[in-house]
Chain A
Amino acid sequence: YPLDRAAKDEDDSMNLVQRYLENYYNLEKDVKLFVRRKDSAPVVKKIQEMQRFLGLEVTGKLDSDTLEVIRKPRCGIPDVGH
């Protein structure tokens, strides 16, 4: 049971990150963040872009600091204009 719970929490976090990158950093909706891909470069690039904008350490990884900022309330205007 705890293992299932942890897996669900992780899924929820991943969905949140996916939506965050789509909404604010123009991650293409057909790029699935959490399917193992041969080429993870577009996703890593978007995570780096987000970390750079938010003044976080630019690692390209979803570390705890990055996830913490993603969970904070924010304005709905995208950071990257169309």
Chain B
Amino acid sequence: FSTFPGMPKWRKTHLTYRIVNYTLDLPRDAIDSAIEKALTVWEKVTPLTFSRINEGVADIMIIFAVREHGDFSPFDGPGNVLAHAYAPGSGIDGDVHFDDDEKWTKDTSGINLFLVAAHELGHSLGLQHSTNSEALMYPVYNKFTDLARFHLSQDDVNGIQSLYGPPTA
């Protein structure tokens, strides 16, 4: 695993998130559920907890956007780049952006939203890419992931616990 230069991390254990807009590829409740499940992946192995807000500025602002979307890091249309996210901090930092030119799905027929969200939220919490191809933080999307048996690799767990420690009893 690796962390961002300077090891940025959240200095609090309770974080807020906000889903600012939605892709039309999926019903809203499916998107809400994918994001919530992706947060739970990290919640289970750290002392971190998350709550959703629907107005105002959250620690983690989640958007769907195409091409140039205000951060000077434009998306590239269908394929290749699926999403990006920012390391912990204020303002745009911590935020997650999904490329809405992708076909987002609940299963793996298109791009699975849960898998990409879990990866991007890893960045929001301070993890950089891993060189371990079994890790969630490996940067290449794996459509053969078994969603029913999804679990973080030990590499992901070691990485996130190097920043936040294990869950509190």
Contacts and interface: CB of A to CB of B under 8 A. Distances in A.
Contact of A74 (B5, B123, B139): B139
A54 B140 contact: yes
A73 B76 CA distance: 11
Contacts, number: 59
A73 B141 contact: yes
Interface size class of B (residues with CB under 8 A): 20 to 34
Contacts of B129: 53, 75, 77, 79
Contact of A77 (B85, B131, B133): B85
A81 B141 CA distance: 20
A53 B131 contact: yes
A79 B132 CA distance: 13
Q: Which of A24, A55, A75 has the most CB of B within 10 A?
A: A75
Interface residues of A, number: 16
A75 B73 CA distance: 13
A52 B129 CA distance: 13
Contact of B128 (A16, A72, A81): A81
B80 A81 contact: no
Contact of B141 (A24, A54, A74): A74
A5 to B, nearest CB: 20
Given A73-B102, A77-B139, A81-B5, 6 more contacts: A53-B131, A54-B133, A75-B83, A75-B120, A76-B75, A77-B123
9 contacts: A73-B82, A74-B140, A75-B129, A76-B73, A76-B84, A76-B99, A77-B128, A77-B129, A79-B128
A7 interface: no
Interface of A: 16, 24, 52-55, 69, 72-77, 79, 81-82
B86 to A, nearest CB: 9
Contact of B119 (A53, A75, A81): A75
B78 to A, nearest CB: 9
A74 B128 contact: no
A72 B119 CA distance: 16
A74 B84 contact: no
A79 B157 CA distance: 19
Contacts of A54: 131, 133, 140
B79 interface: yes
